[in-house]
Amino acid sequence: MTEIDKKPEIRFICFFNDWEQRKVGEIVTDVERPIILKDDEVYQLVTVKRRNEGVVSRGFLKGRDILVKNYFEIRTGDYIISKRQVIHGANGLVPEHLDKSVVSNEYLVVVSNDIISSKFWALISKRHDMYRMFLLSSYGVDIEKMVFNIDDWKKRTLIIPSKSEQNRIIEFFERLDNLITLHQCKYDKLVNFKKSMLGKMFPKDGANVPEFRFAGFNDAWEQRKLGSIATSTYGGGTPATSNEEYWNGNIPWIQSSDLTEDEVFGVSPRKYISEAGLRNSATKLIPEDSIAIITRVGVGKLAIIPFAYTTSQDFLSLSGLNIDPWFGVYACYKKLQSELHKVQGTSIKGITKNELLEKSIFVPISEDEQKKIGNFFKVLDNLINLQKRKLNKLKNIKKTMLEKMFV
């Protein structure tokens, strides 16, 4: 192994020495703290979520109700591995509120020592290399039933830094995780606020006015079918993919995967067709500021398109709107989401053109009220998207650092 192989690409400036290659069995300290379950005593059991999502409680049981009696106590800061789920990322640190919980012998419990800390184990377990090592050290035919072979794992090798460098790396990622959590909370609050306002700024079932209104508007809303809010409707189609002359032109061609769930604008077409493709297929050129609604796979996704476009056959587009376009797209979104919620757990594979156009929404009589509502949600969505970009940027930084700060 060359010298460069033993040093990470990105490193704190106060560390210069090579990292050390060691067998897992030489550096890991696993413990067992067996307990005798008492019938009338209550114990908290835990589980480890997949995808490195942490150790969580799975409830409380009296000793008499725990059928398997071979249990062990875990403590704050222990790093535990689910022997049957580790290849799916089921490992993590025990948080303080789960101190002195209990686990069965289906878990491996690892603690800190003079060579490596339990926090460092939890950190490197998020890396692709460790996922691969866990997989190689597991046996079984069914991916869901593979069992972790601890002895095999202990024969494999890792390259690790000194304990002091480990601590600096851990501190860096803890701060980064705290920042990610903060931005995730901000994002979640905005999303929940939008959900709440959609419920308050559109009439509920059986009502013709919303719970919350902008000042100066008092008239009842009117019920209208979707077919009545557009002067034209357009379907779509797909030019023959085998004919290159039909593709790579300058006409945007939108498919369902171009739309993002819960986002009603900002569509970026990935494919374009030519004039020949337009003429020789069922797709149509749709005017700008139309609402593209998915009617097949992906029902519930829709967007307002600020440019002329074409679509696949998965869409029905509402064009020539006689209501404010931004109000229209949010009213349609609210309608589709409420109907999807009513049939939660059922897969909706599609909706016909007639079924869609017969659906009803409530519309304010005042165009000014329509515009205020549409603009309110447009601004809110811009805030949500901005927060989402910040969050994704931080997650990408973490992903990059997990590669570049380790050997």
Q: Enumerate domains of the chain plus CATH numbers.
A: 18-160 (3.90.220.20), 162-203+365-407 (1.10.287), 222-363 (3.90.220.20)
**What does the pLDDT read at residue 351?**
87
**What does the pLDDT read at residue 347?**
53
**What does the pLDDT read at residue 344?**
46
Task: Quote the CA–CA distance of 120 and 91 in Å, as a whole number.
Answer: 12
**What does the pLDDT read at residue 147?**
94
**What does the pLDDT read at residue 210?**
97
- Residue 148 forms beta bridges with which residues? 138
**What does the pLDDT read at residue 348?**
57
Task: Quote the CA–CA distance of 264 and 245 in Å, as a whole number.
Answer: 31
* DSSP, res 3: S
Question: pTM of the prediction?
Answer: 0.88
CA gyration radius, the chain = 28
**What does the pLDDT read at residue 5?**
75
- Report the half-sphere exposure of 379 (CA within 13 A, side-chain side): 7
For 108, other C-beta atoms within 10 Å of its C-beta total 20
**What does the pLDDT read at residue 296?**
86
Task: Quote the CA–CA distance of 163 and 20 in Å, as a whole number.
Answer: 11
Strand ranges in 226-280 using DSSP code E only, listed in sequence order: 230-234, 247-254, 271-273
Judge residue 135's burial from the number of C-beta atoms within 10 Å of its C-beta, 0-12 exposed, 13-18 middle, 19 or more buried. Answer: middle
Q: Where are the alpha helices (DSSP H) in 126-204?
A: 128-136, 150-155, 163-200
Name the token pair of 178: 């705290």
Helix axes 325-342, 163-200, angle to 10 degrees: 100
Name the token pair of 12: 């704190």
- Counted residue by residue, the chain has a size of 407
Q: What is the pLDDT along the chain (407 residues), one digit of tens a residue?
A: 345 578 999 999 999 999 999 999 999 999 999 999 999 999 999 999 999 999 999 999 999 999 888 999 999 999 999 999 999 999 999 999 999 999 999 999 999 999 999 999 999 999 999 999 999 999 998 888 899 999 999 999 999 999 999 999 999 999 999 999 999 999 999 999 999 999 999 999 889 999 999 999 999 999 999 999 999 999 999 999 999 999 999 999 999 999 999 999 999 999 999 999 999 999 999 999 999 999 987 788 999 999 999 999 999 999 999 999 999 999 999 999 888 766 544 555 688 999 999 999 999 999 999 999 999 999 999 999 999 999 999 999 999 999 999 99
**What does the pLDDT read at residue 345?**
46
Task: Quote the CA–CA distance of 20 and 407 in Å, as a whole number.
Answer: 10
Residue 54 has phi, psi (to 5 degrees) of: 100, 170
**What does the pLDDT read at residue 342?**
60
**What does the pLDDT read at residue 338?**
86
Reference 87, options 151, 153, 132; nearest CA is 132
Name the token pair of 87: 């290849």
**What does the pLDDT read at residue 369?**
98
For 1, other C-beta atoms within 10 Å of its C-beta total 9
Sheet strand arrangement including 107-111: 29-31, 107-111, 79-82, 91-93
**What does the pLDDT read at residue 341?**
67
The dihedral region occupied by 54, where left means phi > 0, alpha psi between -120 and 50, and beta the remainder, is: left
Run of H or E including 138: strand 138-139
